[in-house]
Amino acid sequence: MDVTTFAVNQFIPHPMMLFAAGTYSENESPHLALVSWVNFYWDDGLGVVLCMDGDKTVKRNFEREGVMVLNALSRDMFDEAEALGRASGREKDKVIARFALEPAKHVHAPQLCESPLRYEISLRKNLSFEGGNLYLCAIDGVSTVDASIQNDGVSYDIVAANPLLASQKSYCCVGAQNVLGAWC
């Protein structure tokens, strides 16, 4: 099998959490874009690695302002997420209006009120490539909905959060029946 052809045609074979990246434009209107290329790194503290391709309003706002909120999407937000991913131009503004938004606490960016997990991030480093950018970001704040916190008050319950995942060309979720046991 030609791995390069497989990777290009099948995109990414492992599941990725879907986020609505939130920024404000220069006129303070909120902008959202679906992102899934999110991971973590360590450099004098935990940080977020974010990759975005193409020319997106959210991307331009992030580079101008240096801040963003990554709002995890849940199964309950599937219809809005699907509409957000397909919309452009004025239609995108109508889709964004379907989300309940409020200002983030630590950065100047909008956050989704119903998001089960929100990372408020600020730009540390922007690595530009042909067609895409890799951003190394500081985490300025993290918030969750109460249902996503376990009884100990500090652990995140991914099953209760019910995050929306994408893998290849399918959406999927994590259910209690998929939990095999404790990790390490």
Is residue 52 in a domain?
yes
Q: Tell me: pLDDT of 124 over 90.
A: yes
Q: What is the pLDDT of residue 61?
A: 97
Residue 26 covered by a domain: yes
**Within a domain: 166:** yes
| Domain annotation covers residue 4 | no
| Contact (Cβ atoms closer than 8 angstroms) between residue 84 and residue 31 | no
Mean pLDDT of 104-113: 97
In a domain, 92, yes or no: yes
Print the domain residue range for 68: 13-178
Is 71's pLDDT higher than 90? yes
Write down the pLDDT at residue 184.
63
Query: In the chain, pLDDT over 90 holds for what percent of residues?
Result: 59
Range with the lowest mean pLDDT among 25-34, 53-62, 85-94, 123-132? 85-94
33-55 as b/e, with b when 16 or more CB fall inside 10 Å? bbbbebeeeeeeeebbebebeee
Domain membership flag for residue 184: no
CATH number at 160 reads: 2.30.110.10
Average pLDDT for the chain: 86
Number of domains observed in the structure of the chain: 1
- pLDDT recorded at residue 171: 75
Q: Is the pLDDT of residue 143 over 80?
A: yes
Inform me whether the pLDDT recorded for 7 exceeds 70: no
Residues 31-46 pLDDT 10s: 999 999 999 999 989 9
Q: Is the pLDDT of residue 156 over 90?
A: no
| Residue 6 domain-assigned (yes or no) | no
Task: Assess if residue 7 is contained within a domain.
Answer: no
